[in-house]
Amino acid sequence: MADAVATAGNAPLERSSSFHLLRRLRTLGLLIAVLVLWQVVSMYVLDKRTAVLLPSPTVVTQAFWELVVSGELFVHMRDSLKREFVAFLWALSAVPLGLAMGWSQTVHDQIDPLIEVLRPVPPLAWIPLSILWFGIGDIQNQFIIFLGMFFPILLNTISGVKNIEPNLVRAARCLGAGEGRVLRRVVLRAALPQIITGIRVGLGVGWMALVAAELVGANSGFGFLINDARTLLRTDIVIVGMITIGVIGLIIDRAIRYLGRRAMPWSRTFSA
């Protein structure tokens, strides 16, 4: 690592792949240190009875491998991702609603009071009522996730539309675009970076809401997995579940950013 620092000013070396690898490793330094510390604490500091509360990274890795081999992890992953995806399709209804609210003051004035009252209610507060409405299972979970996704997408779409430069709309009009074409070809396109940002945030909030909903209202999925493992005191599985949730959340976020960058080379919103 000291070498990497010393050669940082050296132009030819900067471009070499080994330099990049070193830099990568350097940014992972703290993470590696935490893992080592964790291993040391669970092996040498905790005694036999308390060790179960914090299984070491090696034990967690073994549990991970067991869940992979048995295929159990993938079953939960499939169910969780399916719920996230179905809820996302429903939450996309926030895009046309947001366009209408951003574009027309009348629509905004009608719908905004309702939104303002519902928005501060955390999705998790809906869990008791939603279990009574939908019972335990997919629909209840999807409803909670939908609530988590809907508002970020809606609010970002509205502000994306409201922040469009007025001259873009004027330019389109005096090139002969009617109302429908102005909306589709100009307003939607100009607001797209912020809509995608809303989707990014929404997918993240939805993923958190998903795990919470599954903790109490599901028989599968990551939330169920970690809660079920808790009752069996399988802390290693709990930690495997938590880490997988985190990694998948990260992958979803990166994927949206990548797609945003590919689809909108003209936008700086998603550049690395």
Partner 1 sequence: MAVLSSIGLSKRFAGHSANDPSVLALSSVNFTINHNEFCSVLGHSGCGKTTLLTMVAGFEQPTEGELLLDGKPIGKPGWERSMIFQDYALFHWLTVEENISFGLEMKNVPRDERKSVVKEYINLVGLSGFDRRYPHQLSGGMRQRVSIARALAVNPQILLMDEPFAALDAQNRSLMQKEMVRIWERARKTCLLVTHSIDEAITLSDRILVMTRRPGTIKADIKVELPRPRQEDDPGVILLRRQIKELIIDEFEVER
Residues that bind partner 1 (CB under 8 A): 165, 167-168, 170-177, 181, 185-186, 189-190, 192, 264-267
Query: Which is closer to partner 1, CB of 31 or CB of 174?
Result: 174
SS (H, E, C) 213-259: HHHHHCCCCHHHHHHHHHHCCCHHHHHHHHHHHHHHHHHHHHHHHHH
Contact 68, 237 (CB under 8 A): no
266's CB contacts (< 8 A; 6+ apart) are none
Task: Kindly report the backbone phi and psi dihedral angles of residue 121, in degrees, each rounded to the nearest multiple of 5, phi listed first.
Answer: -75, 115
Query: Which is closer to partner 1, CB of 191 or CB of 205?
Result: 191
DSSP helix, strand, coil percent of the chain (3-state; round to 5): 80, 0, 20
Query: Which is closer to partner 1, CB of 20 or CB of 185?
Result: 185
In the complex, minimum distance from the CB of residue 202 to partner 1, in angstroms, rounded to a whole number: 22
Query: Which is closer to partner 1, CB of 124 or CB of 264?
Result: 264
The single-letter code of the amino acid at 119 is R
Q: What is the dihedral of CA 55, 56, 57, 60, to 10 degrees?
A: -30
Pick the closest to residue 229 from 66, 36, 42 (CA basis): 66
In the complex, minimum distance from the CB of residue 177 to partner 1, in angstroms, rounded to a whole number: 5
Sign of CA dihedral 257, 262, 268, 272: positive
In the complex, minimum distance from the CB of residue 180 to partner 1, in angstroms, rounded to a whole number: 11
In the complex, minimum distance from the CB of residue 195 to partner 1, in angstroms, rounded to a whole number: 12
In the complex, minimum distance from the CB of residue 164 to partner 1, in angstroms, rounded to a whole number: 11
Query: Which is closer to partner 1, CB of 161 or CB of 192?
Result: 192
Contact 223, 212 (CB under 8 A): yes
In the complex, minimum distance from the CB of residue 196 to partner 1, in angstroms, rounded to a whole number: 12
In the complex, minimum distance from the CB of residue 175 to partner 1, in angstroms, rounded to a whole number: 4
Query: Which is closer to partner 1, CB of 44 or CB of 266?
Result: 266
Query: Which is closer to partner 1, CB of 172 or CB of 215?
Result: 172
Contact 144, 223 (CB under 8 A): no
Can you tell me the distance from the alpha carbon of 265 to that of 268, in angstroms, rounded to the nearest whole number? Answer: 8
